Each structure stands twice: as C-alpha cells, then as structure tokens.
C-alpha cells in the first residue's frame, strides 16, 4: 500500500507530509526531488521528464503535478500504479473543492484542513471515502479561500479540464450567513486533437470531452439535464461500426461513460439525465468522438525562394478560422519550428488586420516562430508573410524541414462535437428558489498539428 | 488570520515559545500553538521534546484540537514510548465515547502508534470496535487489525482477529467489506501466507459487493478475484460476466484491474467464442485510457504492451490511437512507438511508416533515433514492407541530419542481415555519408557493410583505408569490425592494397593493443590466413543466420508471469515483483531509524538499480547491440549462436587465451553505488578506516563487451572535505565480465569543506576511458572518520560537557548483552570510553565516550545509558557542532549493532 504521501512546492519544500506505514526513509522527499529534477543522465538533454512511476533503492515514487505543486506517493509494495495515480488526482480535486484552488499558498494556508481531510481519505495507506460530499461530515476546520494572485493571471491557454474562474470552497454551501450564494456551473469542455497532412487533409482527429459540473446548491436538489436529441453513442446504441454514423446531422460519440450519480432511465427516450449532484467538481459524462468533426482551423504553409537573394526564403502562412462568425477564439498561437540554419526571421503582418490584434515573435535560440492572436473571429482569413534569413543557400529541402505547425487555442461558447445542453432544470418545488445557473462551453486544443 | 503564518517562524527560542502557548489556558492560543507545532513537524523540525505538553492538550472536548494532537502523537510516540503510555488512558476512554467519530479516531490513532507496550491495551477496544453498530467505526477497526498485525502478528492470531476480519467480508456495508479485504490483502503481503482463503461462498459475496463499493474498494475486490485459483470454466464465466461492466468505469485503476481479471479468466475459459467476445469488449476501454492524463496513459501503455504481445488481435485495428501527439510527454511517446511497432502489419504499414517518418523529423533527438530504429524493426519483421521501409530510410538519410544518418546506417545493416543480397544497390548512397559517422555503433555498422559487400563496392579498399588511419584511437567495437572487414576484403579481393592493409591491421591489433578480444581475434585470423586461406574463407565468409526482430518482446515465461501482474508496478517495470519488492518487510521499524545502506543489504544485489533502470532501459532499444555481437564474429560460430561471439573464438583457439582476469568472480558484498547497464558498469563500495587512514573500498564490475581502463576518481565538496590522495586509480585495465577491487586512500582537503549543516553525503565522480564520467552519491560513515588520537583527559571531558551547547538526546533500539565487549568495540572504533558507572537509583549503566572527527577536527562527547540485556538505550550527544548528532548516533548504532 501507499507508504507516504507528500506535497512539494515548486522549489522542493515539503508542505504536507504524512507517513502511513513507516517503511520508507524520511529523506524520501529530497531523494524524489533530486531524481525528478535531474532525470536524464545525459548532460545535454536534461529536458526529459521523469516518468510518473520510477523506483530508487527499492522505493517506488509515483507523482503528479498540479498548480506547480507535486503530489507524491511512495511505496515498497507491488501496488497498482493507476490506483495510486488516480488517488493523487483525486487528492487534487478534494483540495480544490475544499480550498477553492490548488496552489502553494492555498495549501500552506489550509494545512490543518488538509491534514484533517487526509486523515479521513487515507488510513494506513488504504484509500477510504474520497467523495467530497461524504467528507463534509468529518471536517471541522474552516477553509481559507485564497484568490489567485493577480500578478500571475492564469493564461487563457492553460485552461484545462475544469471550469475556471470559480474559487470557492464546497463548505460555503453550509453557511447560513448572507455570504452564501447558491449557484451551479455546468461546463461542456472539449479538447481537440487533430493532425493534418501536408496537403491539408485530416490524418487523424479526436475530441475528448466532458460535461463538468460544479455545484454549490444548498441541500443538493435533484437536477435534470437534457442533451441533443440526435445524439448517438456508438458502442451503446448500435453495434460497433454501425451505419448510423453517416446518417447526416446526428452527433456521434464513439464511447462515453457516466458518473455514478447519473440516472439514465429516460436517457434512451429523450436524452435526459436526472441526477442528485454531489458537492464539488465532477464529470457527469466523459466522452470521445472521432466522427462528424469540423476542424475549427485550417492552415496552409508555403515556402518559396526569395527572388532577390538565395540566402533568404519566404514563408507564407494562411489561416482560416472556420467556426461560426459569431464565435471566435480568445487566444490563438501558431507555432512554426524552423531548421537550425535559419538565422533570423522577419514578418509582415497583414496590413488589413486590426492593429494590435496580432503579433509575432521569433526566437533565434529555439528557432521557433510564433504568430499570436489576442482574438480571432470566426469566418475570417488571416495571412502572415515571413522572410527567413538562411545560413546556407536556399534548397527545396527547406520546405520539408519547416514545421510541423502546431496551434494552441481556446474557443469559448463552442463545442467541436456539437454536443449541446438543451436545458438544465433544478427540480425543487419551491418556486422562489432560483439559484444562479451557468452553462458554458469551451473547446481547447490538445494537439492540433499541421504537417508540412 | 490564516494558517499560513505557522510556517514562517524560525527563531531560536521557538520551542520555548511553543511550550508557553501549549500551556496557555486560552483555548484559541492553545490551538494556535498546536498548529505551529504541526507546521514545524511538517517541515521536518524535531519537536519531539514537546511530547508531554502536547499530551496535556489531548483531553479536550474540542474535536479539532484533539485531531491535531492525535496527529502529533502518531508521529512521535515511537521516540517517547514511556510518555506514550500516558496517552493510552485517553485512547481507551475515547474508544467508548458516544460519538462514533471519536471512537473511530481513537482506534485509528492507537493503531498508528508502533509501541509494543500500547498494543496490549489496544486489543480490548479493537475487539469492541470490530463489532460496533456504526459502520464507520467497523471499517476503521478493520484496517486497525492490519496495523496490529504489522507490530505483533502473534497477538492478532491469539485474539482471533483474523477470523473476525474474514467475517467482516460479509458485512452489510460495502465500505467495511472493502476495508476488511484490504486489511487481509495487506496481512497476506506481510506474512506471505494465504489469508483470504476465498471460498465459493465469499466469492459470491464479493461479486455482489462489487457494484456497491467505492472505486477503491472495487480495485481490492478485483485484485482478490484475479488471485482466485480456479480451474472450473463455469467459475470463470460467472466472474467475467460480473466483471465485464467494470471496464466502463471512469477510474483507470478499476478498468485495469478488471482487465487483469478478464485476462485471467480467458486462460481458464474453454469457449473460444466467449474469449473472442471478451476480447472485443476489451478494446474500447483500453483506447479510452489513452484519453486520460499522461500519467495514467503511461501506466496504461506499459500494460497494453504486455496485452498486445499475448493477444495481438485485441488492438489489431486500433493502431491509429497510438499515433503520437505533438504535446505528449516523451515518456508517453516512447511507449506509443513501441506499441506501434508491435501492431504494425501488412494492412497498416503504409500509415504507420508515414507516422514514423514524421517522427524522424521532430526535434527531440532520442525520439527521432527511436523512430528511425522503429522503421528498421518494421522492415525486419514485415517482409513485404521492407522495400518501403528502405525507401523511407534513404529519404531520411538524404536530409543529412547527423544523428538520423547514424541511426539509419545501423538499421540498414540489420535489414541487410535479414534480407541478404536484395537491397545492396543502396550502398552507394550510404557511402556518401561516411564522413558524418562519428558514433562507434554507426561506424562499426558501416564497416561491416563494406566488408560484407566488398566485392560489389568498387572502392571498398579505399573506403576501409580511410577508417584505418585512426585505427588505434577507435572504440573497440569499431576496431573489431575493422579487423574482420579487412580480412573479408582481403579474402574477396586479394589486391596489393588489401594485402598492405591486412598486414597493417594485423600488426596493429596484435602488437599495439591491450584489448585481449582484439588481439585474440587478430591471432586467429593470422593463423588461419597463414596456414590455410581456403579454410579462412570457409570460416570468415560463411553463410550467416537470418536475424529476426525480437527486441522488446519478452520471453514467454516472463510474459505469462507479467500478465498475471497486469495493473501492478510489476507491469510497469516489466519485471516480476520479486525483483523490486523486498520480501522482508521493514515496517515495524520507524523509517528514520533506518540507514541507507541497511536497505541495500536487505535487497537482492542490484535489484534496486535494475528497477530504476527498467524504465530507462525499456526506452532504449537493445537490438543493434545484440546484432553486432553476432555479426562481430563474422564466422560460422555465429550460426551456433553463442551467447558471446568473442567467447566462441576463445574456444576455437584453446591455448591462446591471454586474458588474465578471471571472469565472473563473485563480488564481495559491498553496497551498490552505481549500476549503469547501458554502459555495462557496476560500482560497489564503502568508506572505511584502515590502518589509521580513511579508505574507499571499491569494487568495479565491467559487464560491457570491451575492457575498461583509465579509471579516475574525484569527489565534490562535502562536510569533511574528503578526497582521494591520488585521482588516478591504481587499477589495471578491467577485461569484460571481470571485476577489479581497489582500496583508495583518502585525505582531508580543507578547500573541499562544504560549509553548512553536517551531512554524510559525498558526491563522487568516476571516469573511465570507455564509459566517460559517471556520478554517484555515497554516505560517509562517521565511524570511518574517528581519529586514533581522539581521546581526551577526564577533566577536559567534564569541562567540555559543561560548556558545550545543550545535548541532543536520542533513543536507539539496540540491546547490549555484554558491556565489556561493547566497550572494546567502541574503543576499537576510536570512540574512547572515559568512564563507566552505574546510574544511581536505576538498573542502568552509563558510558561516557569521546572521539575526534577528522577533517573538521571536532571533538564529540557521548553519553550512553543502557541496561544490560534490555532493548533500547538512551544516547546523548554534545559537541560544538550539534549538527553531527544524527551521524554520531548512526555510528554508535553501527558499532554496537
């Protein structure tokens, strides 16, 4: 079982430490930190990340990173690694649910609360109840909710799975004072993975999505959620590789799983789900689709010789944003790796573009060209012309060596799979009860690559 | 006010301040004090001396405060066993509290205190709590049985707790069932006996509980099911039917454990249809795991690697999901690549090759190399794809990226070996890139190609000649290959220049080298050529066996063993559990009492390092090494597939074996400091005192294929400024598979003293001509630093004892049976006994010891109080360097152990 659990700050300081079995030396956090930091034994390539499971002197270290912190478990037994890693992820969620967010500051300020939680969540290295809701009974400490530091605003591009912008402890719902605010967040979060070949055709594409719920409703009233009528779930509704995938407009999911609180009685009738939402953040549905997916961006890259001189080349990027015109990406970055013999680059932004919305940047050290957008409206076309100064005369192989081009983006109020929430009902008889309901959509890039 | 402030104070009188606050009558101030103590404990400060004050806070109605004190209690009870007894009354009282939370808290905490004396008091409350009305108390008590077993197994047996635990498997509450099961599994692990004793009856109960359990409980149940020994296919069907839906779970641990159960049941089930149906259901959940966080993906991929080897059909159509994403971490990419190679088939090879080609143009060098090798491996294993693979490789080589070219040459050599006389038309392209080859393996591969196809390459002699210029400086791998290829060239095209070259090489290899392998091989060729050139042709130019791609494929027996370990660490390391789990659990001892080298001694030698390397080793393909070893010999002995080609030649020559170092000498048992399988080097060693000087005893094991020489040793700055007297080690060249020992005298170098808190850590660098510089860390035992002249006068001792800063106490778990021999041992270790007297009013005896630590020239004073024949001794330490306390305690423990 798990011998120790500890949380390390980005500098390697121990901020939470709990020893369950007492069979791993106390110095394990230092041993872990050293090994993790200098994983690669090759001096030139220290970029290698340590794998999430590794062993030093008979002790296995399992770790995950969140909010700059490292959550680590050690063991001497032949445990199930996914069991331990899932537990660490769950610890992240619990801390976030109770402290509002998971940062060094939040953990330091709430350490008695976290120890209290740990006491309930794990006994002798065996996970106990890890349900945010159930834990409430046992917790006595008041959370200190820390707002994220304003000097380091969360970049919109780092938007990952969960709903952001809510930094609130689940314990707030049991408050009786005026500070309490009943609200519920339902977020459809999708991550797009897409690879295009050099002619612009999709080689592979996938959307990993989740309907994330974060509930702060006192008394946990039941909810009813309805999804699109034309939703088809591949392995559930018809045999593998069935025909319906092509049947026009339906939203087709390859595979999905539901949270245990979901009641699916009427799901097959009208695609509605009833549930009693537990406190804290959870994923009601996780799904995956490779069908009927319209890529939000297309890109064309051309590389030509400069007619004036053979020590220069012209790189042209044409980008089409293919989401509806009333939507758009809030933050887009196009990354173009160039070969080592490119000395400098100079770009001309499209003179027609609104000034200040686009920028570019070339790093002579990493040879990476970045084209950045603050905002990128749907239905538009953009262009960037870039002059590359080469160390050696231009050759046609340059075309092969530029790229692959990678896009990073976040598109609010847009779901790539076209899954939609038709309604969100709070089933409580009291007519005066009208808490805030937030339904949001967001699509981000996981890996969005154009090969050249 | 927030709790963060508790971390901030580092003032001197801290402990005193804590005490004040803990004794405060004000409740909030008291709680504040307790929180500060817990914060200090978290950052690793020693707050054990506050034990009595903390105990006084325990009797309180305030549950929050009580929890914090209990937390402290778990941490320090071991160091203060006498005081811990004081807490027992509160525990026993709390275990009967009307509030179930407090009952459970008491039982939980009591079990965490590993003090023998307490366990007796634990039994009755535990007995009660196992039958408590509240499931929360019962589930806590179930785990407590496992805790008790760890401290005192006999007691658990005597009181019948095991049977009670088995009864709990049929409890109405699924949480209790899960914990009882977890406790039994843990006890089984510690004792090595079958504690579960699963019957048909309990099996059914577990299957029923499976649906209602928490996700963690489900994993325990699934693991128990996987271990259920049955031969009955009906059982297998029953289990599989219940377990199959678990593969849809959100928690990847549940999914993988369910897959393990199904894989087990497939072995037992006799219906091929059912097995096929189950396989079909297994694919989607496996694919879904790849959408999870990278950590979970990594574990899943390592497991999939095993599943695919056993049942390739499951994922045969899913190769696409293993395509690497741009932003995958490198450890995920490497694993995906490995699985892509395994899934590559006639049907999907075009797609797969296209991917590999893309990867071969990425930025990360290791990944690129692996991608190039992947292309080569596909060519070797899929005959129809060979030509396509070659074309892709040629395209890549034409881009002239240095490391791609080198890697490309290596894999093309493998392809030539697999399909002789088919693709030789590409040799010309390869020859264009001769200049860019600078890595030994690539060079050796190219030289092999030139030698093997000398008759088809017009200027083979010129090409080889360019390599010969640097013959003496080459790596031994290249030298051996040059030798063989020159002979091949001579036999195929006995021109004048070939003649000249052969005599040059043979004389170089026999006269100017100290590598016995090279010399031996040269002598063989020499004799062969001079006695019977035709026989030489038969030997050197004989038909070679065709190779296959078996890199990364595990041996069938090991694979079956590992498949039973799916969803465990074993399946990630690809090693059976015995290799990295030490059978002997060290649980009873508190961790901080353990010394690093104790660990190493308890393990199978090398096990620790191999498991560390497992992950790394899996990433680097070992294929070409094996191939090269075979083709090295270039003679018929390869057909017999000797484990080591060189060995084969030795046999052939009989008397000519000049290598003097004996192979496979059993190495003395020193702690392993470094083991680097990729460089074929293991270093064992320990710092000890010999004849009044500090000496580094080292054992260097060379398991690589070439001799090691030019050994040098250097140390980093450390607390005591230790460094070798002579940087160059007086060790002759170490032949392959042999061992050298060295006793390196050390000295103190004041410029190498690292200021700051004393630490036993010593960072060492070892350089060899072949393996380059290797780093490792060792611990300097204080016992090796105590000087022979360290004794002082009794009066001086007394004065020092009075003037020095307050002592550091520590309790050591040691038993002394003969005080005179203990004194002799201390004296022999340069800890001088100044006085020995009984402690008035007790049965204890006190020893006063002193010693001088070299390098920093500090006198340490130690008082030991012990009772002969009774476990445990109290040691107090005084010195101007209080930070030497821990090391001194370790030294005393080591000397008296």
Place of tokens 């199930």: A80
Scanning every residue of chain A, which has its alpha carbon at the shortest distance from the alpha carbon of B775? A41
Who wins on pLDDT, B56 or A13? A13
pLDDT for position A235: 56
- Spatial CB neighbours of B645, under 8 Å, sequence gap ≥ 6: B629, B630, B632, B633, B637, B638
DSSP A399-417: HHHS--EEEEEEEET--TT
Length of chain A, please? 452
Question: Which tokens in the block code for residue B629?
Answer: 């070893």
Assign B837 a pLDDT band (cuts: 50, 70, 90).
confident
Q: Say whether residue B143 is in contact with chain A using an 8 A CB cutoff.
A: yes
pLDDT at A127 over 50: yes
Average pLDDT over residues B646-672: 38
Question: Which tokens in the block code for residue B665?
Answer: 């000498």
Provide the ipTM. Answer: 0.81
pLDDT at B442 over 50: yes
Please count the residue pairs, one from chain A and one from chain B, whose beta carbons lie less than 8 angstroms apart: 256
pLDDT for position A70: 93
Assign B182 a pLDDT band (cuts: 50, 70, 90).
very high
Place of tokens 């897959």: B259
Q: What is the pLDDT of residues B485-509, one digit of tens each?
A: 999 988 888 888 888 888 888 888 8
pLDDT for position B611: 41
Distance from C-alpha of B387 to C-alpha of B398, rounded to nearest angstrom? 17
User: Which residue among B67, B586, B616 places its CB closest to the CB of A116?
Assistant: B67
Can you give the residue ranges of every domain in chain B? 439-531, 588-634+646-780, 794-896
| Four-point Cα dihedral B145, B147, B150, B156, nearest 10 | -20
Q: Which of B73, B280, B358, B813 to mutate to test the interface with A (most CBs of A within 10 A)?
A: B358
pLDDT for position A85: 95
B358 contacts A451 by C-beta, under 8 angstroms: yes
Q: What is the pLDDT of residues B375-412, one digit of tens each?
A: 999 998 888 889 999 999 998 888 778 888 999 999 99
Which residues from A are below 8 Å from B64, CB to CB?
Answer: 112, 116, 140-141
Alpha-carbon separation of residue B499 from B196, B503, B536 (angstroms): 76, 6, 15
Assign A149 a pLDDT band (cuts: 50, 70, 90).
low
Distance from C-alpha of A145 to C-alpha of A147, rounded to nearest angstrom? 6
Assign B437 a pLDDT band (cuts: 50, 70, 90).
confident
Report yes or no on whether pTM surpasses 0.80.
no
Q: Say whether residue B146 is in contact with chain A using an 8 A CB cutoff.
A: yes
Average pLDDT over residues B195-222: 86
User: What mean pLDDT is reported for chain B?
Assistant: 80
pLDDT at B340 over 90: yes
Q: Say whether residue B72 is in contact with chain A using an 8 A CB cutoff.
A: no
Q: Which of A51, A209, A239 to mutate to test the interface with B (most CBs of B within 10 A)?
A: A51
Assign B3 a pLDDT band (cuts: 50, 70, 90).
low
Q: How far is A323 from chain B (nearest CA, A)?
A: 23
Which range (A43-52, A258-267, B283-292, B505-514) has the least confidence? A43-52
pLDDT for position A408: 92
Distance from C-alpha of B87 to C-alpha of B91, rounded to nearest angstrom? 6
* Ramachandran angles phi, psi of A91, nearest 5°: -60, -40
Q: What is the pLDDT of residues B229-238, one digit of tens each?
A: 778 888 888 8
B580 and A110 within 8 Å at the Cβ level: the answer is no
Who wins on pLDDT, A361 or B45? A361
Distance from C-alpha of A213 to C-alpha of A282, rounded to nearest angstrom? 6
Q: What is the pLDDT of residues B297-313, one digit of tens each?
A: 999 999 999 999 988 88
Q: Say whether residue B394 is in contact with chain A using an 8 A CB cutoff.
A: no
Q: How far is B833 from chain A (nearest CA, A)?
A: 31
pLDDT at A366 over 50: yes
Distance from C-alpha of A319 to C-alpha of A372, rounded to nearest angstrom? 12
B298 and A53 within 8 Å at the Cβ level: the answer is yes
pLDDT for position B617: 39
Q: Say whether residue B27 is in contact with chain A using an 8 A CB cutoff.
A: no
Q: SS3 for B479-533, per residue?
A: HHHHHHHHHHHHHHCCCHHHHHHHHHHHHHHHHCCCCHHHHHHHHHHHHHHHHCH
pLDDT for position A320: 92
pLDDT for position B738: 79
> Residue A57's closest CA among A22, A25, A20?
A25
pLDDT at A414 over 50: yes
Greatest mean pLDDT among A245-254, A425-434, B572-581 lies in B572-581
Place of tokens 């005193």: B16
Q: Say whether residue B296 is in contact with chain A using an 8 A CB cutoff.
A: yes
Assign A279 a pLDDT band (cuts: 50, 70, 90).
confident
Average pLDDT over residues B792-815: 79
Q: What is the pLDDT of residues A151-173, one digit of tens each?
A: 343 443 334 434 445 667 777 66
CATH of domain B794-896: 3.30.310.10
- Residue B624 burial (CB count, 10 A): 21
B714 contacts B724 by C-beta, under 8 angstroms: yes
* Ramachandran angles phi, psi of B304, nearest 5°: -60, -40
A178 contacts A430 by C-beta, under 8 angstroms: no
As a whole-number percent, the residues of chain B with pLDDT over 90 amount to 14
Q: What is the pLDDT of residues B726-781, one digit of tens each?
A: 888 877 788 777 788 888 888 888 777 887 778 888 888 888 877 778 888 888 88
Assign B582 a pLDDT band (cuts: 50, 70, 90).
low
pLDDT for position B616: 40
B591 and A22 within 8 Å at the Cβ level: the answer is yes
- Residue B864 burial (CB count, 10 A): 25
Who wins on pLDDT, B336 or B363? B336
Assign B71 a pLDDT band (cuts: 50, 70, 90).
confident
Indicate the pairing of strand A342-349 with strand A380-390. antiparallel
Average pLDDT over residues A415-443: 84
Assign A179 a pLDDT band (cuts: 50, 70, 90).
low
DSSP B543-602: PPPPP---TTPPPHHHHHHHHTTTTSHHHHHTS-GGGTS-SS--TTS-GGG--HHHHHHH
Q: What is the pLDDT of residues B606-654, one digit of tens each?
A: 443 444 444 343 333 333 333 333 333 333 333 333 333 322 233 333 3
User: Which residue among B38, B43, B358 places its CB closest to the CB of A112?
Assistant: B38
> Residue B765's closest CA among B729, B814, B815?
B729
pLDDT for position B601: 40
CATH of domain B588-634+646-780: 2.60.40.1150
Distance from C-alpha of A166 to C-alpha of B22, rounded to nearest angstrom? 38
What sections of B269-346 are H helices per DSSP? 272-289, 294-310, 330-343
* Ramachandran angles phi, psi of B631, nearest 5°: -80, -15
Domains of chain A with bracketed CATH? 4-135 (3.30.450.60), 182-293+415-450 (2.60.40.1170), 297-412 (2.60.40.1170)
Q: Say whether residue B257 is in contact with chain A using an 8 A CB cutoff.
A: yes
Distance from C-alpha of B627 to C-alpha of B606, rounded to nearest angstrom? 26
Distance from C-alpha of A376 to C-alpha of A298, rounded to nearest angstrom? 13
Q: What is the pLDDT of residues B446-459, one digit of tens each?
A: 999 988 888 888 88
B615 and A51 within 8 Å at the Cβ level: the answer is yes
pLDDT at A190 over 70: yes
Which residues from B are below 8 Å from A288, CB to CB?
Answer: 287-288, 291
pLDDT for position B812: 79
What sections of A38-144 are H helices per DSSP? 81-99, 104-109, 111-121, 132-135
Buried b (16+ CB within 10 A) or exposed e, B190-204: beeeebbebeeebbe
* Ramachandran angles phi, psi of A167, nearest 5°: -120, 85
> Quick one: how far is CA B424 from the chain centroid?
44
pLDDT for position B196: 75
């Amino acid at each position: 079982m798990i011998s120790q659990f500890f949380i390390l700050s980005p500098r390697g300081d121990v901020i939470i430490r709990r020893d369950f079995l007492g069979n791993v030396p106390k110095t394990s956090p230092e041993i872990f930190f050293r090994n993790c930091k200098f994983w690669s034994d090759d001096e030139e390539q220290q970029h290698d990340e340590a794998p999430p499971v590794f062993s030093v002197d008979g002790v296995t270290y399992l770790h995950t990173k969140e909010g700059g912190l490292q959550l680590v478990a050690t063991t001497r037994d032949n445990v199930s690694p996914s069991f331990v890693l899932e537990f660490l992820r769950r610890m992240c969620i619990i801390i976030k649910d109770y402290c509002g967010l998971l940062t060094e500051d939040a953990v330091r300020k709430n350490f008695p609360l976290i120890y209290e939680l740990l006491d309930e969540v794990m006994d002798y290295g065996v996970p106990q109840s890890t349900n945010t809701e159930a834990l409430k009974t046992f917790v006595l400490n008041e959370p200190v909710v820390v707002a994220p530091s304003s000097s380091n605003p969360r970049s919109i591009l780092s938007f990952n799975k969960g709903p952001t912008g809510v930094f609130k402890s689940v314990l707030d719902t049991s408050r009786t004072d005026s500070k309490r605010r009943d609200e519920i967040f339902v977020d459809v979060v999708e991550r797009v993975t897409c690879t295009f070949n050099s002619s612009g055709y999709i080689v592979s594409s996938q959307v990993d999505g989740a309907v994330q719920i974060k509930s702060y409703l006192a008394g946990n009233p039941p909810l009813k959620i309805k999804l699109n009528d034309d939703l088809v779930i591949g392995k559930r509704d018809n045999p593998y590789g069935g025909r319906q995938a092509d049947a026009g407009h339906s939203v087709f999911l390859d595979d999905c799983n539901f949270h245990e609180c979901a009641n699916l009685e009427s799901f097959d009738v009208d695609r509605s789900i009833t549930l009693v939402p537990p406190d804290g953040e959870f994923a009601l549905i996780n799904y995956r689709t490779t069908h009927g997916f319209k890529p939000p961006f297309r890109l064309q890259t051309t590389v030509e010789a400069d007619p004036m001189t053979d020590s220069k080349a012209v790189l042209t990027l044409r980008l089409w944003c293919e989401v509806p015109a009333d939507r758009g990406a809030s933050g887009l970055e196009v990354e173009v790796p160039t070969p080592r013999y490119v000395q400098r680059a100079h770009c001309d932004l499209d003179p027609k573009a609104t000034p200040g919305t686009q920028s570019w940047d070339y790093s002579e050290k990493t040879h990476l060209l970045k084209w950045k957008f603050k905002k990128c409206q749907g239905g538009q076309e953009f262009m960037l012309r870039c002059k590359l100064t080469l160390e050696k005369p231009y050759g046609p192989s340059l075309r092969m060596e530029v790229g692959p081009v990678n896009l990073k983006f976040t598109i609010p109020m847009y779901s790539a799979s076209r899954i939609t929430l038709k309604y969100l009902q709070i089933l409580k008889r009291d007519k005066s009860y009208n808490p805030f309901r937030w339904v949001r959509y967001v699509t981000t890039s996981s890996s969005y690559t154009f090969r050249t | 006010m927030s709790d963060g402030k508790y971390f901030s104070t580092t003032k001197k009188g801290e402990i005193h301040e804590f005490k004040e606050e803990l004794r405060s009558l004000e409740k909030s101030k008291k709680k504040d004090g307790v929180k500060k103590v817990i914060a200090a404990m978290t950052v690793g400060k020693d707050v054990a001396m506050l034990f009595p004050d903390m105990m006084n806070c325990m009797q309180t109605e305030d549950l929050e405060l009580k929890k914090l004190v209990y937390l402290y209690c778990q941490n320090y009870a071991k160091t203060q066993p006498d005081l811990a007894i004081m807490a027992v009354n509160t525990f026993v009282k709390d275990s009967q509290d009307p509030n179930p939370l407090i009952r459970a808290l008491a039982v939980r905490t009591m079990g965490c205190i590993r003090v023998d004396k307490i366990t007796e008091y634990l039994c009755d409350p535990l007995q009660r709590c196992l039958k408590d009305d509240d499931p929360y108390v019962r589930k806590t008590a179930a785990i407590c049985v496992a805790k008790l077993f760890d401290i005192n197994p006999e007691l658990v047996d005597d009181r019948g707790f095991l049977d009670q635990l088995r009864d709990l498997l049929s409890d109405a509450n699924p949480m209790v069932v899960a914990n009882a099961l977890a406790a039994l599994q843990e006890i089984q692990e510690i004792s090595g006996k079958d504690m579960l004793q699963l019957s048909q009856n309990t099996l059914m109960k577990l299957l029923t509980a499976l649906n209602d359990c928490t996700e963690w409980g489900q994993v325990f149940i699934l693991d128990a099911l996987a271990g259920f020994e049955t031969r009955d296919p009906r059982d297998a069907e029953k289990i599989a039917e219940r377990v199959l839906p678990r593969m849809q779970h959100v928690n990847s641990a549940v999914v993988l454990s369910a897959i393990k159960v199904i894989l087990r049941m497939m072995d037992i089930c006799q219906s091929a249809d059912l097995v096929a149906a189950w396989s079909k259901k297994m694919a989607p959940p496996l694919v879904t795991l790849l959408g999870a966080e990278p950590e979970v993906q990594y574990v899943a991929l390592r497991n999939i690697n095993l599943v695919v080897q056993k049942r390739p059909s499951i994922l045969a159509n899913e190769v696409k999901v293993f395509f690497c994403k741009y932003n995958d971490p490198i450890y995920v990419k490497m694993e995906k690549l490995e699985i892509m190679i395994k899934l590559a088939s006639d049907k999907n090879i075009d797609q797969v090759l296209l991917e590999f080609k893309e990867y071969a143009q990425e930025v990360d060098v290791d990944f690129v190399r692996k991608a190039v090798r992947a292309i080569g491996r596909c060519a070797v294993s899929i005959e129809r794809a060979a030509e396509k693979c070659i074309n892709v490789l040629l395209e890549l080589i034409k881009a002239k990226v240095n490391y791609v070219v080198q890697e490309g040459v290596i894999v093309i050599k493998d392809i030539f070996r697999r399909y002789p006389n088919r693709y030789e038309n590409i040799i010309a392209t390869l020859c264009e890139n001769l200049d860019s080859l600078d890595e030994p393996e690539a060079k050796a591969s190219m030289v092999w190609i030139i030698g093997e196809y000398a008759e088809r390459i017009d200027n083979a002699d010129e090409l080889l000649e360019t390599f010969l210029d640097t013959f003496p400086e080459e790596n031994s791998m290249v030298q051996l290959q040059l030798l063989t290829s020159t002979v091949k060239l001579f036999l195929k095209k006995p021109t004048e220049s070939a003649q000249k070259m052969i005599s040059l090489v043979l004389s170089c290899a026999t006269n100017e080298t100290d590598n016995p392998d090279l010399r031996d091989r040269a002598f063989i060729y020499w004799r062969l050529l001079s006695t019977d050139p035709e026989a030489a042709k038969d030997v050197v130019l004989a038909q070679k066996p065709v190779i296959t791609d078996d890199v990364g494929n595990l041996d069938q027996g090991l694979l079956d063993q590992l498949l039973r370990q799916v969803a465990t660490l074993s399946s990630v390391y690809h090693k059976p559990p015995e290799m990295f789990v030490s059978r002997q659990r060290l649980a009873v001892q508190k961790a901080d009492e353990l010394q690093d080298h104790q660990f190493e001694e308890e393990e199978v030698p090398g096990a620790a390092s191999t498991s560390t390397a497992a992950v790394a080793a899996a990433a680097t393909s070992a294929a070409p090494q094996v191939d090269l070893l075979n083709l090295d010999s270039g003679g018929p002995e390869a057909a017999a597939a000797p484990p080591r080609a060189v060995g084969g030649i030795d046999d052939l020559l009989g008397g000519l074996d000049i290598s003097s170092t004996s192979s496979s000498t059993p190495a003395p048992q020193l702690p392993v400091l470094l083991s680097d399988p990729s460089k074929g080097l293991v270093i064992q060693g320990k710092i000890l005192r010999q004849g009044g000087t500090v000496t580094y005893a080292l054992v260097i094991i060379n398991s690589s294929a070439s001799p090691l020489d030019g050994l040098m040793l250097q140390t980093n700055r450390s607390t005591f400024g230790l460094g070798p007297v002579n940087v160059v080690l007086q060790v002759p060249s170490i032949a392959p598979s042999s061992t050298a020992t060295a006793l390196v005298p050390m000295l103190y170098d004041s410029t190498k003293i690292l200021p700051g808190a004393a630490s036993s850590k010593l960072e060492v660098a070892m350089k060899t001509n072949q393996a380059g510089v290797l780093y490792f860390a060792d611990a300097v035992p204080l016992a090796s630093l105590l000087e022979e002249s360290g004794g002082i006068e009794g009066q001086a001792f007394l004065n020092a004892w009075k003037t020095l800063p307050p002592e550091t106490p520590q309790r050591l778990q040691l038993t002394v049976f003969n005080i005179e021999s203990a004194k002799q041992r201390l004296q022999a270790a340069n800890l001088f006994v100044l006085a020995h007297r009984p402690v008035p009013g007790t049965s204890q005896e006190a020893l006063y010891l002193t010693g001088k630590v070299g390098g920093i020239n500090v006198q340490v004073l130690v008082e030991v109080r012990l009772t002969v024949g009774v476990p445990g001794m109290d040691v107090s330490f005084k010195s101007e360097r209080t930070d030497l306390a821990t090391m001194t305690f370790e030294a005393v423990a080591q000397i008296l152990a």
